[in-house]
Structure 1
């Protein structure tokens, strides 16, 4: 299979990343950088590779063999599979490090250092290297030995306790939110360090953790709670935020649901056509009686079809939207207009439908050039690039120092 060719220049062309990361946080970060043109060399375990290769939802595999979780976060990368405990593999990695710009890893704190792949090890061979570590709770402290997983961090940082209805259990976000926030912070830190290196010539260490990221991304909620010494109380209805008053929330229709955000209450009541609801048109009542108001508004919205209600609300300049499933979102007219769902060809999974790169640059657009790789698919290619003879490469493959699952031509 040949790579997708593009004539457009890439913003991060010439930047090389050694990517030791697995699962979601690190791989999403390096995929975002790869989409912008960085050469990401994914360093994986021989045979097994990234843990996400063996994890999937509902035991479903794209093309019968490939994990959708892995395919989601690893396009535009090359894979080399090496036994990190092997002295020969370490010599190869440190040779690659001499020309690497960035190293990314999200193992538990101390694991990479113990293997001889810590920041100081890479800086010794390349003082300009930027070394980015992602962890659950930082590099030390009382939680350093805890597993740092997305849902666990959601629970620790308040977002679960603030999500859902008061009579229901605390509700996690229906996606890997902590990990994805962590990935964005990795990219933010790496690009900041790259810019500093352009001015100073110096590399540095970048440390990102899920705990700090999730707190930072709830800053308005934290500022409210900290400064008034009072936690939010979840509503008992479809109100959409524990700090908001009515009508902010999710409302039923005859055939679905709609969301209504910050909108003039009186205008909304006018659209729904029940002036009896104007008795609540007071800032104090709209919060104190928000669950009661929600129920009465919901009784009115339930008389409409989604399409008819949306048309009426938009005509009145009410902030609103439909509630859609993932499949419905993919068919949304704005999503289709912006071409936010695309696909690539994979040597085993076939056509893989994916979400397109989210950031658009006018002169150096992000592109999908390569599918997510097989384990060690590019082992031979990468070792040749660094000057290793075919005889040496074959010897390492035979001895287990390296591994290659090579795609069919």
Structure 2
């Protein structure tokens, strides 16, 4: 495996020259948008050599989408950049007859393939599981879909919001009178990515023991259903169905005080706590009349209003000081702009700055897990389209003359840095 270029190290984060957990693992990344790219980025964070296969000219679909119609570095997407670090980009036409043997050669040397096309697309391209397994019996081949590889919905478009709706997640947040409320982040995609990673790593461990690869299938729908397992367990095993309260209690199965409360200068989260301690913190003895688990559930809207009236009388920091002194489960509610200034977030160094060849210095979330012997790291910024095309093809034995021909015909493209 080619070494990562040291010139792409983060501006203020020195590289540790040490073994990473997935050093030597080669990943062919046929994914786009969020679910697949986040999964392969996690593998790259742990040292895998991730080759992102992109369409010449346009690349990953997420390169053409962004938030607020804003771009960085001219035309770099706010949606693409967060999910594609620690990868090299090979821009190659998968439909060209000239590239078949090249892709087959990459497959023969790969450890892992991840793809998130609709079911059947990789087979039509000639790179389905059976073909790849024949070329490389040790291959771990992960297909990630929206609804599953087969079944009545297999040909439907699968997307985060659609899955949140079908899986019922949108009926678990907000107030009953609000109607369905979607989670304000790509929950389905990110859970799907985590399932890809744990499935792939389990298959990799199995291959170490047996020498045999296997197919891994992940879909957004089951990823979200698994995430909601305690809720479905409750509903399906004889208990009542969840009903959202009007107070916006943070989970429809919980009673007071579980929720988010206004303060004099912001908001405060209050989780499950012994009611007498909550009453003590609020310094309102009359609230002890609600000290019964059934009452705290049945009258949670009324109780929420009582608490909110009191929390509005002090600032968030004042309440934190009072409540944390009683060991209550509480925390401030931060606006997104304020999150990186939170003392614990800063202590964890959860964000860091990296250098991108077009966008310049960009702030990203750091690798979120710590491994004492094989730490993850960010050694490459998100690539330009085909930035590493020549480099990758040379590594896999394609002659310079053949690469020049492929570049000239546009079957392969390369975007230069600088």
TM-score category, normalised to shorter length: over 0.9
Match of 2:127 in 1: 117
Out of 81, 96, 105, the residue aligned to residue 86 of structure 1 is 96
2:26 pairs, out of 16, 20, 32, with 16
Q: 1:200 aligns with which of 198, 210, 217?
A: 210
Shift of 1:330: 1.0
Give the aligned partner of residue 8 of structure 2: 3
Matches within 5 A, 1:390-405: 390-405=400-415
Mapped pair 1:241 → 2:251: yes
**Structure 1 residue runs without a partner (length 5+):** none
Deviates more, 1:393-402 or 1:190-199: 393-402
Question: Does structure 2 retain, via aligned residues, the 8 Å contact 1:20–1:103?
Answer: yes
- Which of the residues 343, 354, 364 maps onto 2:364? 354
Counterpart residue number, 2:56? 46
TM-score between the two structures when normalised by the length of structure 1: 0.98
Structure 2 equivalent of residue 102 of structure 1: 112
Normalising by structure 2, what TM-score? 0.96
What is the match of residue 256 of structure 1?
A: 266
Q: 1:212 aligns with which of 197, 219, 222?
A: 222
Residues matched between the structures, number: 408
Q: 1:64 deviation in Å?
A: 3.0
Q: Deviation at 1:238?
A: 3.0
The Cα RMSD (Å) is 1.0
Q: Per-residue CA shift, 1:302-330, capped at 9, x if unaligned?
A: 11110100100000111000001212111
Give unpaired runs (5+ residues) of structure 2. Answer: 10-14
Bigger shift: 182-191 or 326-335?
Answer: 326-335
Determine the C-alpha separation between the residues in 2 that align with 1:321 and 1:62. 34
2:51–2:90 CA contact under 8 A, matched in 1: yes
> For 1:90 and 1:58, how far apart are their aligned partners in 2?
39
Distance 1:403 1:169 in 2: 48
Does residue 276 (structure 1) correspond to residue 281 (structure 2)? The answer is no
Moved over 6 A (4+): none
Matched, 1:173 2:183: yes
Query: What's the counterpart of residue 12 of structure 2?
Result: none
The residue number in structure 2 matching 1:334 is 344
Does 2:70 match 1:60? yes
Which residue of the partner structure matches residue 297 of structure 2? 287
- 1:315-334 mapped onto 2 (5 Å cutoff): 315-334=325-344
Question: What's the offset of the Cα at 1:3?
Answer: 2.8
Deviation at 1:63, TM superposition (A): 2.4
Distance 2:34 2:215 in 1: 21
1:68 shift after superposition: 1.5
Where 1:98 maps in the other structure, the secondary structure is helix
Superposed displacement of residue 230, structure 1: 3.5
Contact 1:63 1:350 in 2 (8 A): yes
Given that 1:49 and 1:375 are in contact with CA atoms closer than 8 Å, whether structure 2 keeps it comes out as yes
Q: Does the 8 Å CA contact 1:112/1:118 hold for their aligned counterparts?
A: yes
